[in-house]
């Protein structure tokens, strides 16, 4: 274990730590990786200026430290940026009047840390980090740390402490969403760099990956009644957040895995995009006024979550009718009772919907789910 002084911070139920890591700690603990890394030209001509000669990086050594992974989310390394950082670090060291890395880097870990508060301070204490190579991954600041690593590999002792924000409790979805929020909104990273990636490249868990791909399909397919309505990974003009929908789809897939056979979950995995696209199309025609009207809440996160929770019941009803549960016409026939019993006015924002909002969003989802299930019986 490596032990460092730290401050524990809690925001909206998420705990993280603020600490300082030495350059040696960075070298030992941090894993550098990119998605589809391809280095620049191997034989870049050396510039003639004295400053360029000083800032040159040994790319053969540095590139061996940078791994590729389908689960990585970092963009390819920008050589010019690292060269500039190396030059700046050396200038700071020579002048001794400016800090080289004054801003905190953001780091995640799949391994949990141990935090021991000091007497009288519940939020100040000692943080123990497992001493394993690659236990830490960079969420923000990879170029800064790669430049520091490049200098250390050339034998230059920078002897600096890097301020860091460390997370050890985020799951894959939270990490990706935080990465996109930081980079797409506050740097020049094009949001499409992440949004256009397949789920399998973003999430190690197959259910999370499939959920991402299903929601992306609903948002991008021109024939989808939800086209452009979903805010993917915190970016875009959509009004519905991706995260709660993904949680419901993941729970749906996990439930099928637990209760069904291997063949059933494989069938659903292969047809998930088709099913949910047809399901939403069927909903838009079953509740046409609500879907097209502005004074309805049918396209809110709460309503969509309830519809996702009811997906197994819709599939079961389609099978009872001896139809293909993934087919548009079969789904439309299965949910026909909703149009007859609930009708569009169930989703009027100022009507029944508002009256049943007393339990909050969670209560609304549960109430609507129960009504939908009862209407199918």
> Binning pLDDT at 50, 70 and 90, where does residue 39 land?
very low
pLDDT at residue 169 tops 50: yes
- Distance, CA of 167 to CA of 171 (rounded, Å): 10
Q: Label residue 1 by pLDDT band (50, 70, 90).
A: confident
Cα dihedral 259/264/269/273 (nearest 10)? -100
In tens, the pLDDT along 290-301 reads 999 989 999 999
20 sits in which H/E element:
strand 14-22
pLDDT at residue 27, rounded to an integer: 83
For the segment 82-103, the average pLDDT, to the nearest whole number, is 85
Cβ count near 66 (within 10 Å): 20
Give the mean pLDDT of 55-78.
57
pLDDT for residue 47 is more than 70: no
Selected residue with higher pLDDT from 196 and 305? 305
Model-level pTM greater than 0.85?
no
Q: What is the pLDDT of residue 40?
A: 42
Percentage above 70 pLDDT, the chain: 78
Task: Return the C-alpha torsion angle 351, 353, 358, 362, nearest 10.
Answer: -170
Answer whether residue 46 shows pLDDT above 50: no
pLDDT of residue 31: 82
Q: Which residue has the higher pLDDT, 59 or 174?
A: 174
> In terms of pLDDT, which residue wins out, 327 or 243?
327
Residues 6 or more apart in contact with residue 189 via CB below 8 angstroms: 75, 183
pLDDT in tens, 9-34: 998 888 999 999 988 888 888 887 66
Q: How confident is the model at residue 329 (pLDDT cuts 50, 70, 90)?
A: very high
Strands 30-34 and 66-68: parallel
Residue 181 pLDDT > 90, yes or no? no
Give the model's pLDDT for residue 234.
64
Q: Who has greater pLDDT, 153 or 186?
A: 153
More confident residue, 260 or 247: 247
Q: Fill in the DSSP letter of residue 47.
A: P
Range from 69-73, 87-91, 276-280 carrying the lowest mean pLDDT? 69-73
How far out from the chain centre does Cα 166 lie?
Answer: 17
Residue 216 pLDDT exceeds 80:
yes
Is 55's pLDDT higher than 50? no
Q: What is the mean pLDDT of residues 306-320?
A: 94
With b meaning 16 or more CB within 10 Å and e meaning fewer, what string describes 36-50? ebeeeeeeeeeeeee
What number of residues does the chain have?
377
- DSSP H or E run through 363: helix 360-376
Report residue 48's pLDDT band, with 50, 70 and 90 as the boundaries.
Answer: very low
Q: Does residue 101 register a pLDDT over 70? A: yes
Give dist(CA 335, CA 349) in Å, integer.
22
Q: Say whether pLDDT at 65 is over 70.
A: no
> H helices of 221-321, where?
242-259, 262-286, 288-292, 301-309, 311-320
């Amino acid at each position: 274990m490596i032990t460092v002084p730290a401050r524990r911070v809690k925001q909206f139920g998420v705990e993280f730590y603020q600490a300082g890591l030495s350059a040696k700690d960075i070298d030992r603990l941090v894993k550098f990786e990119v998605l589809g890394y391809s280095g620049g030209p191997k034989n870049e001509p050396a510039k003639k200026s004295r400053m360029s000669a000083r800032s040159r990086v040994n790319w053969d050594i540095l590139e061996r430290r940078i791994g590729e992974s389908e689960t990585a989310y970092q963009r390819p390394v920008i050589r010019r940026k690292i060269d500039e950082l190396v030059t700046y670090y050396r200038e700071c060291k020579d002048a001794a009047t400016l800090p080289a890395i004054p801003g905190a880097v953001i780091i995640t870990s799949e391994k949990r840390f141990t935090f021991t508060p000091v007497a009288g301070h519940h939020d100040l204490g000692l943080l123990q980090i497992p001493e394993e190579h690659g236990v830490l991954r960079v969420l923000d600041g990879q170029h800064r740390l790669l430049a520091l690593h490049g200098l250390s590999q050339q034998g230059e002792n920078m002897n600096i402490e890097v301020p860091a924000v460390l997370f050890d409790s985020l799951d894959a979805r939270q990490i990706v969403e935080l990465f996109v929020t930081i980079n797409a909104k506050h740097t020049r990273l094009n949001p499409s760099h992440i949004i256009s990636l397949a789920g399998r490249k973003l999430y190690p868990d197959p259910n999370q990956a499939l959920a991402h791909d299903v929601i992306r399909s609903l948002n991008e397919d021109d024939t989808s009644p939800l086209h452009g309505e979903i805010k993917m990974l915190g970016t875009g003009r959509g009004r519905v957040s991706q995260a709660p929908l993904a949680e419901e789809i993941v729970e749906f897939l996990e439930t099928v895995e637990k209760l069904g056979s291997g063949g059933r979950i494989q069938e659903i995995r292969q047809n998930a995009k088709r099913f949910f696209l047809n399901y939403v199309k069927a909903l838009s025609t079953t509740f046409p006024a609500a879907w097209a009207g502005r004074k309805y809440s049918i396209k809110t996160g709460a309503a969509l979550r309830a519809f996702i929770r009811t997906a197994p019941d819709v599939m079961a009803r389609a099978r009872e009718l001896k139809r293909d549960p993934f087919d548009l016409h079969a789904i439309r026939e299965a949910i026909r009772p909703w149009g007859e019993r609930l009708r569009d006015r169930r989703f009027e924002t100022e009507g029944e919907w508002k009256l049943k909002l007393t339990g909050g969003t969670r209560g609304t989802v549960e109430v609507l789910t129960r009504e939908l299930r009862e209407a199918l019986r």
